[in-house]
Amino acid sequence: MARFIFITGGVVSSLGKGLMAASLGALLQARGYKVRIRKFDPYLNVDPGTMSPYQHGEVYVTDDGAETDLDLGHYERFTGVSARQSDNITSGRVYQDIIARERRGDYLGATVQVIPHVTDAIKNFALADQGDLDFILCEIGGTVGDIESLPFMEAIRQLRNELEPLQTLSVHVTLVPYIAAAGELKTKPTQHSVRELASLGIKPDILLCRAEHPIPEGERKKIAQFCNVRAESVIQALDAPSIYSVPLQYHGEGLDSEVLRGFGITDAPEPDLSAWDDVTDRYFHPEGEVTIGVVGKYVGLQDAYKSLNEALVHGGMANRAKVHIKWIDAELFENAGTDLAAELEPLHGILVPGGFGERGSEGKIASVRFARERNVPFFGICLGMQMACVESARSAGHEAASSTEFGSTQEPVVGIITEWMSEEGIETREEGGDLGGTMRLGAYDAQLAEGSLVSRIYGGETMISERHRHRYEVNGAYREALEGDGLTFSGMSPDGLLPEIVERPDHPWFVGVQFHPELKSKPFAPHPLFAGFIEAALKQSRLV
């Protein structure tokens, strides 16, 4: 049976529990263990699919079509283990399932309560799909003391009692703030956080203390004494120059060794960290640099494009290049006073990412036009590909070309998709139906045209699988007009009905994809499309 590591956070939010879980998973994996990481989210949404990116960052989509928390992106990028629907649960999903069962009469007349029904559901989620795993890491969202997280904390408490000794471990992530006026690090917030956790019946085994300055030995001993842990179990987590430094940094502080000691494992092999040494070497020792402009609508919060940001960095690693990202609000180009050329000319590549709604769409189309006319490397993702098709249609003479997502139009180059083929058979949706979980979600195959740019980028492959999240598609009725303008449909769904990739053979590098390749990119395995895009941007940088 797998061993369980429960990860909680205290003092404040945004301490990096997800990154800590991903890093610890990577370190255990480097020692030869099989790991899986799961996220417990206390909010009442069934999943983050209907949330604004400004509320909860990006929505990370799995191969099996789950819309999940962005932390699952960290887990997958750091461990290479493909996330699944069973790796993310919310309070909303728990209560939805319980209420559905109650309506069916599954509880045989019993009073449905938080204990045992809600906590049992949470425990069942944690214990499911263990297979041959050695470790399952469970991150609890939010902060200790939040009213929403209480059922999850209670479930952890019960599991630690019910499972065998040395089968569970509690890691608590806290903050040791530096008070500049006093010139001191303060341990009291950590003490209070641990006391709050203990009041819920959970004694932490390891404290990971985030700090801006090194924590002196004396302060660590003080934390250990007041928090009832070994001094060696108080591990400092200083701010890192890059998230890709974190696994090596935590290993240097002894986190993985202390975790294994907590499980009574004394014969673990030393970790093979050569892949992480190579990643950090490529990141910190680039041989070139490029500037990529990301023209989007959620640029005020980088977490809204977290996987995209990291995939661009990975593309830089593949080319030993430093990637500077310039975040540009697409609405900027809809203002008459904006000099579009002045904003875009210094760039070595232009990327238009996915998104929803009409706001900023004309600015994105203007960016596509600039990239096409000036031969600047262009990468359109999801809505970005659709805007490239709208721009091409307008160039071909269809001046009213638009998307039905933005309202009624006489030239629906992009329209809602109501039927498509999946592994389970024909999927159907109704216009005006529920928004949650109703898009074309998850991994779907695409057939690549032989000899195309994308086929070469994918190493000569003619069939690929990529993750989707969209409910609008390019209208095949406009294919002839778009191809007449020079836009080639180089990737289609296997049944030949849904456009997946477009490109311009007469352009240095112009690619639009309906899927989200950023979701599958990893630091030690950069996605080929991002590697190719950055390679083209490097060539462009020598021309500017």
Instruction: Report the chain's C-alpha Rg in angstroms.
Output: 25
The pLDDT score that the predictor gives to residue 433 is 56
Q: How far apart are CA 361 and CA 380, in angstroms?
A: 13
Question: 77: closest CA among 91, 89, 60?
Answer: 60
At 208, the amino acid letter reads L
Kindly report the average pLDDT of the chain as a whole number.
92
Is residue 516 annotated as part of the catalytic site, yes or no? yes
Per annotation, catalytic residue among 382, 466, 503, 535: 382
Among the listed residues 314, 516, 527, 535, the single catalytic one is: 516
Of 216, 235, 349, give the one whose Cα is nearest residue 295: 349
How much is the pLDDT for 64? 92
Q: Is 382 an active-site residue?
A: yes
Tell me the three state secondary structure of residue 421: strand
Q: Tell the CATH topology of 286-541.
A: Rossmann fold (3.40.50)
3-state secondary structure 171-215: EEEEECCEECCCCEECCHHHHHHHHHHHHCCCCCCEEEEEECCCC
| Domain residue spans of the chain | 3-278, 286-541
pLDDT band for position 420 (cuts 50, 70, 90): very low
User: Which strands make up the sheet holding 411-416, listed edge to edge?
Assistant: 401-403, 411-416, 472-474
What are 348-367's pLDDT values in tens digits? 999 999 888 888 889 999 99
- Count of C-beta atoms within a 10 Å radius of residue 356: 17
- This prediction has a pTM of 0.93
The pLDDT of 233-257, averaged and rounded, is: 96
Phi, psi of 507 (to 5 degrees): -120, 150
Task: Sheet containing 3-9: give its strands across.
Answer: 88-90, 35-41, 135-140, 3-9, 168-175, 206-211, 234-238
**Apex 139 CA angle, 138 and 144, nearest 5:** 125
Q: Do domains 3-278 and 286-541 have the same CATH topology?
A: yes
331 is catalytic: no
Give per-residue pLDDT as tens, 155-174.
999 999 999 989 999 999 99
Q: 22: which 2 tokens?
A: 């991903």
Q: Which CATH architecture has domain 3-278?
A: 3-Layer(aba) Sandwich (3.40)
Measured CA to CA in angstroms, residue 320 lies from 62, 246, 370 at distances of 29, 20, 27
Per-residue confidence band for 14, with pLDDT thresholds at 50, 70 and 90: confident
Residue 111's CB is within 10 A of a number of other CB atoms, namely 7
